[in-house]
Amino acid sequence: MTSTVKRKVEKLEKAVELELNYLLKQPTCPEQIKGVFENSFDKVVSELMDAELVGNIPAIPIITVPYLGIYGLAQMVRRNDDVCRVRLIPEQIADTKESRAPFGLSWAIDVEDGTKTLGKRFDLAEKEIIEANRLSLTTVGILNLGRGDVLSRHNVVATGSRHGDDRVADLWLSEGRPELYWHWADGSLARWGSASCGRYLGL
């Protein structure tokens, strides 16, 4: 292994470990689910070694609705002592076919947390993401992303899902407390960005 390759491996391992630790420290996440992601550490690092990364987060663990549900995922989004409030109707959320969202446990590979689309109209950001052959994160995706520190930088929109026909879910800080709510798909706000990933690695 060359020094360049070694440095790349170490950098990726550090980034994956950071996102994994966000999950492992969650008291409401079942130990069996934590174990699946811990055991996949080497697999995801190996996958990233061959990836051309354009996002700002190499990978995040994705837990889906069949495992914990929207409310269970929201319980793991915290800001200080405040737990994320769900202020939409989960039954009205439907993922778009273009999002290609996984049904089971996975890693989202090459995640862009919405920084590149800050202030852009949500439906237009979704179009750009699709044209770049990337996948818009869904409501589930932004809740998994929200375990980390993204909300300390900006709010996040899930253009890979629709809440009803013409609304998108968003994760934001309401008076300092995380909240899962919605906005019109043709809206835009300065500190809201539409997150995406390159692909998913199923487990």
pLDDT of residue 4: 86
CB-count exposure of residue 67 (10 Å: 0-12, 13-18, 19+): middle
For 147-200, the pLDDT digits (tens) are 999 999 999 999 999 998 899 999 999 999 999 999 999 999 999 999 999 999
Average pLDDT, the chain: 96
Instruction: Specify the pTM.
Output: 0.97
Helix (H, G, I), strand (E, B) or coil at 107: strand
Closest CA to 37 of 92, 76, 70: 76
pLDDT value at residue 55:
87
161 - beta bridge partners?
Answer: 95
Question: Which of 9, 195, 10, 191 shows the shortest CA–CA distance to 108?
Answer: 195
